[in-house]
């Protein structure tokens, strides 16, 4: 990543190059590769917040060049989900990426990513099932499909993803392993607001009142983790926590579960490194979160 001069009085970041097609992308990345540089990819759907920017800055610690992709991927949205409403803020996003010194923004159109006749699907069974996969049955196939395309288009040495989408991270690690992809998939810790709410582009759907209530999700996970560390059975604690969230004003709780940290097998109690994962509706938003236990 290009560093600005520490000595100049006004710090001028270089303009962010934006490419929208695969040949232009390959030309640019090819130049870096020919110079022996290590390349990182940060795939996003845009509407960038501090969590994304932390991923970009984290990626820069592991590579000489950082490519950020912005693509609101239709194949990972179900028929009644928020594909149309999903925030699209490319100009602001490009400004934020310029300010932190990103090397390249790749912002393809739907026609570039899914040209006429494109039919190949990719599924990653087992790890895609349950949790978000239960409420969103086609979601992870859509994520696997687009991320495979992005990885093959950019051919990075490392691709980074937030741990907030923990199941997605596990799906993509499995995919990279199974397909012998020659790159590292790296998870980065969830970025949170001061009150604990995990940063997410979908937090924009919350009303002021819902935003006040939202941090209770993270607090519930922390309290549960505390109780589970004593060796108690998980099921009654999880049920009580779900009831408490609904009583406080949350809508449907899609899941609140204790799973193995690697592979996501369900756990009855804390018997190995684990993850507590939750998805809950609050107003128009479906919030997800998870913590290590």
How far is residue 96's CA from residue 47's CA, in Å, rounded to a whole number?
Answer: 10
Interface segment toward ligand PAF; rule CB under 6 A; list 39-47, 100-108, 181-189, 254-262? 39-47
Exposed (0-12), middle (13-18) or buried (19+): which is 125, by Cβ within 10 Å?
A: exposed
With contacts defined by CB under 6 A, how many residues of the chain interact with ligand PAF? 10
Q: Tokens 């560093």, residue?
A: 3
CB of 81 to ligand PAF, least distance (A): 12
CB of 143 to ligand PAF, least distance (A): 5
CB of 165 to ligand PAF, least distance (A): 5
Q: Looking only at residues 222 through 281 of this chain, which bind ligand PAF when binding is defined by CB under 6 A?
A: none
Interface segment toward ligand PAF; rule CB under 6 A; list 43-51, 176-184, 229-237, 273-281? 43-51
Single out the residue of 141, 154, 145, 156 nearest to residue 60, CA to CA. 156
Is the CB of 43 or the CB of 101 nearer to ligand PAF? 43
Q: Looking only at residues 53 through 82 of this chain, which bind ligand PAF when binding is defined by CB under 6 A?
A: 73, 76
Q: At CA 86, angle to CA 80 and CA 89, rounded to 5?
A: 165
CB of 266 to ligand PAF, least distance (A): 23
Binding of ligand PAF by 146 (CB under 6 A): yes
How far is residue 235's CA from residue 231's CA, in Å, rounded to a whole number?
Answer: 12
Binding of ligand PAF by 143 (CB under 6 A): yes
CB of 181 to ligand PAF, least distance (A): 15
Interface segment toward ligand PAF; rule CB under 6 A; list 33-41, 139-147, 191-199, 282-290? 139-147
Joined tokens for residue 180: 């012998």
Is the CB of 101 or the CB of 142 nearer to ligand PAF? 142
Q: Looking only at residues 161 through 200 of this chain, which bind ligand PAF when binding is defined by CB under 6 A?
A: 165, 168
Joined tokens for residue 109: 């159109």
How far is residue 287's CA from residue 121's CA, in Å, rounded to a whole number?
Answer: 27
Interface segment toward ligand PAF; rule CB under 6 A; list 21-29, 140-148, 218-226, 243-251? 140-148
Joined tokens for residue 101: 């010194």
Is the CB of 16 or the CB of 288 nearer to ligand PAF? 288
- Coil, helix or strand at residue 282: strand
Residues 6+ apart with CB under 8 A from 20: 106, 107, 108, 109, 112
Give catalytic status of residue 52 as yes or no: yes
Binding of ligand PAF by 43 (CB under 6 A): yes
How far is residue 21's CA from residue 266's CA, in Å, rounded to a whole number?
Answer: 42
Exposed (0-12), middle (13-18) or buried (19+): which is 190, by Cβ within 10 Å?
A: buried
CB of 250 to ligand PAF, least distance (A): 23
Contact 228, 234 (CB under 8 A): yes
Joined tokens for residue 279: 């998805």
Catalytic annotation, pick one of 7, 49, 52, 139: 52
Binding site for ligand PAF (CB under 6 A): 43-45, 73, 76, 143, 146-147, 165, 168
Task: List residues with catalytic annotation.
Answer: 52
């Amino acid at each position: 990543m290009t560093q600005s001069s520490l000595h100049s009085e006004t710090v001028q970041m270089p303009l962010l190059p934006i490419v929208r097609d695969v040949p232009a992308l390959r030309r640019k990345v090819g130049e870096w590769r020919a110079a022996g540089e290590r390349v990182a990819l940060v795939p996003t759907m845009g509407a960038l917040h501090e969590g994304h920017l932390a991923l970009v800055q984290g990626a820069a610690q592991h590579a000489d060049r950082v490519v950020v992709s912005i693509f609101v991927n239709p194949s990972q949205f179900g028929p009644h989900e928020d594909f149309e409403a999903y925030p699209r803020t490319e100009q602001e996003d490009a400004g934020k990426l310029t300010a932190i010194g990103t090397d390249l923004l790749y912002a393809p159109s739907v026609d570039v990513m899914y040209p006429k006749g494109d039919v190949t699907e990719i599924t990653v069974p087992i790890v895609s099932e349950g949790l978000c996969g239960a409420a969103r049955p086609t979601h992870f196939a859509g994520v696997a499909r687009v991320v495979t395309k992005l990885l093959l288009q950019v051919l990075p040495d490392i691709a980074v993803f937030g741990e907030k989408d923990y199941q997605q991270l596990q799906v993509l690690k499995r995919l990279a392993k199974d397909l012998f992809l020659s790159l590292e998939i790296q998870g980065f810790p969830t970025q949170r607001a001061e009150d604990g709410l995990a940063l997410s582009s979908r937090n924009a759907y919350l009303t002021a009142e819902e935003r006040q209530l939202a941090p209770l999700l993270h607090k519930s996970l922390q309290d549960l983790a505390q109780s589970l560390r004593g060796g108690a059975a998980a099921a009654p604690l999880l049920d009580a926590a779900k009831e408490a969230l609904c009583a406080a004003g949350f809508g449907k709780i899609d899941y609140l579960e204790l799973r193995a940290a690697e592979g996501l097998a369900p756990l009855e109690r804390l018997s190995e490194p684990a993850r507590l994962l939750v998805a809950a509706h609050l107003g128009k938003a479906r919030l997800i979160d998870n913590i290590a236990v």
